[in-house]
Amino acid sequence: MPSLKSHFVSFVLRHSRKQAFSSPENLQRWIAAARKTENHQPPVALRRRLNIEVHSVDGFPVYEIAPRAGEHKRILYLHGGAYVFEITPYHWDLIADMADRLGYAITVPIYPIAPEHDFHAMFGMVGNVYRRMLDATVPQDIIFMGDSAGGNMAVVLTMMAAEEALPLPSRHVLISPGLDMSLANPAVFEAERNDPWLGIPGGLEAIRMYSAGIDTSDWHISPVYGDLSVLPKTLLLTGSRDMLTPDNLIFAQKARDAGVEIEVVHEEGMFHVWPLIDMPESRRARQHIVAFLSEARSPIRQGMRVRFEAPSAEAAE
| pLDDT-derived band at 123, boundaries 50, 70, 90 | very high
Per-residue pLDDT, averaged over 83-112, amounts to 97
With 60 as the cut, is the pLDDT of residue 296 above it? no
E strand map for the chain = 52-57, 60-65, 74-78, 105-109, 142-147, 171-175, 233-239, 262-267, 304-309
Residue 179 has a pLDDT of 98
Question: What are 26-37's pLDDT values in tens digits?
Answer: 999 999 999 999
* 88 touches 137 (CB < 8 A): no
56 bridge partner residues? 61
Residue 304 has a pLDDT of 45
Number of helical (H) and strand (E) elements in the chain, helices listed first = 11, 9
**Domain definitions of the chain by residue range:** 4-309
Per-residue pLDDT, averaged over 294-317, amounts to 44
With 80 as the cut, is the pLDDT of residue 307 above it? no
Q: What is the DSSP letter of 176?
A: S
Residue 7 has a pLDDT of 95
CA 162 to chain centre: 20
With 70 as the cut, is the pLDDT of residue 300 above it? no
With 90 as the cut, is the pLDDT of residue 303 above it? no
Per-residue pLDDT, averaged over 281-304, amounts to 76
**Angle, CA 149 vertex, CA 164 and CA 141 arms, to 5°:** 50
Per-residue pLDDT, averaged over 132-150, amounts to 97
With 70 as the cut, is the pLDDT of residue 299 above it? no
pTM: 0.93
Residue 308 has a pLDDT of 38
Residue 1 has a pLDDT of 86
Question: What are 206-235's pLDDT values in tens digits?
Answer: 999 999 999 999 999 999 999 999 999 999
Question: What are 35-55's pLDDT values in tens digits?
Answer: 999 999 999 999 999 999 999
User: What is 4-309's CATH superfamily?
Assistant: Alpha/Beta hydrolase fold, catalytic domain (3.40.50.1820)
Q: Give the lowest-confidence range in 1-5, 58-62, 68-72, 309-313.
A: 309-313
CA torsion sign, 252 to 92 to 197 to 20? negative
Residue 310 has a pLDDT of 34
Rounded Cα distance, 272 and 243, in Å: 8
With 70 as the cut, is the pLDDT of residue 311 above it? no
Residue 305 has a pLDDT of 47
Per-residue pLDDT, averaged over 275-284, amounts to 96
Q: Reply yes or no: is the peptide bond before residue 115 cis, omega within 30 of 0.
A: yes
Rounded Cα distance, 60 and 159, in Å: 23
